[in-house]
Chains A and B, each alone.
Chain A
Amino acid sequence: MGILEVKNVGKRFGGLQALGDVNLSVAENTVHAIIGPNGAGKSTLLNVLVGKLIPDTGSVMFDGKSVLGRKPYEINQMGISRVFQTPEIFGDLSVLENMLIPCFAKRDGAFTPNAFIDMFRDREIVERAEQMLEEMNMADARNDNAATMSRGNKRRLEIGMCLAQEPRLLLLDEPTAGMARADTNNTIDLLKQIKDERDITIAIIEHDMHVVFSLAERITVLAQGTPLVEDTPDKIKGHPKVREAYLGESQDAA
């Protein structure tokens, strides 16, 4: 049994079968990549996992509990954090405040009307947030406005915010999309470090094969809403069906 078990999930948008009959098992403490051509249904699948979409059929179990029908914040509190394609951070807030929020969410839960404590005097939380900023190498930027950071740093902050919650499953949707080579490599290094240092399961959607083959221990290839094959990176590289459906195109394009 994997930590995440997706069974027979289907999702239809009007006349379009975005997800056909998806079965997927993600083993604990592995990095599992989901690849596939544009429109394959990767983001749709991810949206099902985090509660943004409710599938028409099938079940999604996380750690033995169903996530279906739960709100995104509830699923997050179960231990699933999500990194978005374009970094989603609190642009109007300082970098430190951005980090304080997930720390409060982790300790105090989904809603706590604590209007009479000064947040900067909550030593436990502030120390935790500052330690996370150190780990992300962004302690110097703590008082900067988050919106003013580079895209690479916003991504870094977003990943750090997710990690502050100590999730058991981290979902990343094209974390390096639109990044320059250097930023991409930094992100790869950061993710490698995360997987080495923590007990965490990572599921990553990615177009960039360099990223996929640097990180993934298992790969699922999705095409037209159904998984084509699932195997180790080495096997996937040589798989004729995969080359046909996906890798061939992508390598021509590159």
Chain B
Amino acid sequence: MFGLDKKHTNLLLLVAALTMLAPFILNPFPEGSGMAQFNAGYPDLMQRFVIFGIFAIGFNILFGLTGYLSFGHAAFLGVGSYAAMWMMKLLTMNVIPAIAVSIVVAGLFSLLVGWISLRRSGIYFSILTLAFAQMSYALAYSVLTPITGGETGLQPKLQDPRILDGALEAGASPRANLFGLEMTSSFEWSVGSWLFTFNVGYYVAAVAMLLSFYMAIRIFNSPFGMMLRAIKSNQQRMNYTGLNSKPYTLAAFVVSGMYAGLAGGLMVAMDTQVGAERMFWTASGEVVLMTILGGAGTLIGPVLGAGMIKYMENIMSKINETILHQWFAFLPDGIENLLVAMVYPFIGKGWHLTLGLIFMLVVIFLPGGLVEGGQRIARLFKRKKPSSDTPDGKTTPAE
């Protein structure tokens, strides 16, 4: 189906089912129960899951396939965001032009950055991309303030021209929409003590992610994708096989830049704001972590990695000391306090510590990321065939 073989059609359908049913799947605990704080099925977080999923899927096309480690992909995310915001200011609050333009502008910018950075490989390439991203960040903060809004960033304003939209009614504020359907609007469904939220913005982003995922599958299975893996495997042999690795790498760079731009455009479509911090180097590093954590070079890995990191960032960080005391309340006071003291550094603001530990464990013991972990578990259960699953799953992240 869709020009894919059976295995990949199934994978796509599975991912489609999971994203469409996410409002249920991510809200397994009844409202008001002690576990409700682990529910992730609220619009803001679900949107972030799929948007960062897109970002990581695109990053993986460059890093996972060619092995070129970019440390500046947040720049394309940021540029995509600014471009989308300007569409909302100048044209319309409809998200379609905003998203389309964010992809194009990020693609053009990544063509420039890639063309220069790809003159070098290895660590020098990484440093060049990092330098570009930090320059973009600095420019957005200072010189380019008229375009970027500097420190305050940009939001749609009432007085923006928005030539395609009619005048707003008195007291109304500009809202991002899809042909009138507002991104922020949600349908809530309560079943017993469960509450499920179906948010327009989430579904728009989820459809974008499914399309992105589908394109990634196509690229992985194409001769083009194989050439990208060949670059990572042995660039020397590639050049002596009559293939010019330069345009292949540049194409991969631009495609991943466009994915980043799409993610940036979707962020603006969801929360109608943008600031320079979106381009900061930590944001570039985050997508590297997501990809490696999930499994670089695998199809589903980056999505899993993005989900895991965003879940921890939003859920783990909310657990505080009081909640810990509640959990351990059944224990004698001394032990309770001891346990709380031991666990405390790893939760709340300490979630970075937990993430760092998990990351270290994955890199050391599961170089193929969460996907490799999943494959190992699957192999334990069905010993009969040593699973030729994703052949990509075997590739280890580039050194």
**Which residues of A come within 8 Å of B, CB atoms?**
50, 71-73, 76-77, 81-82, 84, 88-94, 97, 100-102, 104-106, 108-120, 122, 125, 143, 145, 161, 165
Contacts and interface: CB of A to CB of B under 8 A. Distances in A.
14 contacts: A73-B239, A91-B234, A100-B226, A101-B230, A101-B238, A104-B226, A105-B242, A105-B243, A114-B222, A115-B225, A117-B222, A119-B226, A122-B223, A165-B242
B224 A88 contact: no
A145 B240 contact: no
Contacts of A84: 236, 240
A72 B241 CA distance: 9
Nearest to B392: A92
A89 B4 CA distance: 28
Contact of B221 (A73, A104, A111, A118): A118
B311 interface: no
Interface residues of B, number: 35
Given A112-B223, A119-B221, A73 B237 contact: no
Nearest to A143: B388
- In order of increasing CB-CB distance, the 8 nearest A-B pairs are A76-B242, A115-B224, A110-B244, A92-B233, A90-B233, A88-B237, A105-B242, A111-B247
User: Is the contact region of chain B dominated by helix, strand, or loop, or is it mixed?
Assistant: helix
Contacts of A145: 394
B241 A102 contact: yes
Contacts, number: 114
B229 interface: yes
Contact of B243 (A50, A89, A91, A111): A111
Most chain A CB within 10 A, of B229, B239, B251, is at: B239
A18 B327 CA distance: 76
Contacts of B242: 73, 76-77, 102, 105-106, 109-110, 165
A93 B228 CA distance: 11
Contacts of B223: 100, 104, 108, 112, 114, 117, 119, 122, 125
Contacts of A165: 241-242
A123 B242 CA distance: 21
Contacts of A76: 239-242
Contacts of B318: none
B388 A101 contact: no
B243 A110 contact: yes
B227 interface: yes
Interface in B169-226: 218-219, 221-226
A84 B251 CA distance: 29
Interface string B243-268: 11101100100010000000000000
B390 interface: no
A198 B239 CA distance: 24
B389 interface: no
Contact of B219 (A89, A100, A109, A115): A115
B226, B243, B394 — which one has the most chain A CB atoms within 10 A of its CB?
Answer: B243
A82 B241 CA distance: 8
A73 B255 CA distance: 24
Contacts of B241: 73, 76, 81, 101-102, 105, 161, 165
A244 to B, nearest CB: 36
Query: Residue among A93, A112, A115 with the most chain B CB within 10 A?
Result: A115
B239 A72 contact: yes
Between B222, B225, B251, the greatest number of chain A beta carbons within 10 A of the residue's beta carbon is seen for B222
Contact of B3 (A110, A118, A125): A118
B226 A93 contact: yes
